[in-house]
Amino acid sequence: MRYEAKHNTLKSHAQVVCNFKNSPKTLVRICQVIQSNAYGQNRFKLNQMTCVKGETVLVQDVLSREDLIDRGFPLMKSVFKAKSLKQNGVLYRLKMNVALESSMSREDNMPLFGRIIEIIVVNSEVFLKTRLFRCPCLDPDVNAYQVTMSQDNGHMFLPVSRLAHWKPVSLWKLPSKNLKRLFISARHIIV
C-alpha cells in the first residue's frame, strides 16, 4: 500500500493540530486513540495462527478425546495436534507453563497454573490440555507463587482465548538446597 494512502488519517490530523513543540507525540496519541476506538468496536479480528510443527489425527487418537467428545466432536473427526503453535505472536509449545485462572475468579484467592501437555486445533480454534500445578502460597520474600505439580493428576482443557494471561509463564528455582521448591513470578495481570 502506498504511504500516502496508508497514512492519510495522520496527514489530515497533522494539518489540523496546532502543537508545534512535540508534534510526533501528538500524532502518536491520535493514532492510539483511533486504534483503541477500532478495537473497542470489535472491528478487528486478531486470530493469526501459525502451526510450526504437528500432524492431523483423529479425535480417538489424542489425549483430550473425552474433552472433545464433551464438546460434541465425533471420534472419527480429524483434528490438528500441534507440537508448537504461534497465535497472535505468542508461541505455545509442549511443556510450557501458562496461567489458567486468575486469583480473583477462584475461591482460594490463588491463581491456577498448568503445564501444556497437548495442543489441539479444531476449526481454527486452539485448545490446550494442561496438567495442573498446586499453588499453596505466595512467598513474600521473592514476590512469587510457590507451585508444585498436583499429585492427583488434575487436568484442564480450555481454549487459548480463556487463559488468565495470554503469555506463558516461567518456572524458576531458588539457589538453595531444597530443589523441589518451584516459583512463578507474581505479575500484576495474574494477581
Distance CA 98, CA 111 (A): 11
The pLDDT of 30-47, averaged and rounded, is 71
Count of structural domains, the chain: 2
User: Secondary structure of the chain: what % helix, strand, coil (to 5)?
Assistant: 25, 40, 35
Contacts with 10 (C-beta within 8 Å, 6 or more apart), sequence order = 27, 30, 31
Tell me, what's the pLDDT at 191? 45
Answer yes or no: is 59 within a domain: no
Answer yes or no: is 68 within a domain: no
Q: Are residues 85 and 158 in the same domain?
A: yes
The pLDDT of 49-78, averaged and rounded, is 87
> What is the domain-level CATH number for residue 117?
2.30.30.490
Answer yes or no: is 177 within a domain: yes
The parent domain of residue 12 ranges over: 3-40
pLDDT in tens, 119-138: 999 888 899 999 998 888 88
More confident residue, 50 or 95: 95
Q: Are residues 162 and 98 in the same domain?
A: yes
Distance CA 117, CA 110 (A): 22
By C-alpha distance, which of 190, 130, 187 is closest to 160? Answer: 130
Answer yes or no: is 9 within a domain: yes
Q: Are residues 35 and 85 in the same domain?
A: no
Q: Does the pTM exceed 0.75?
A: no
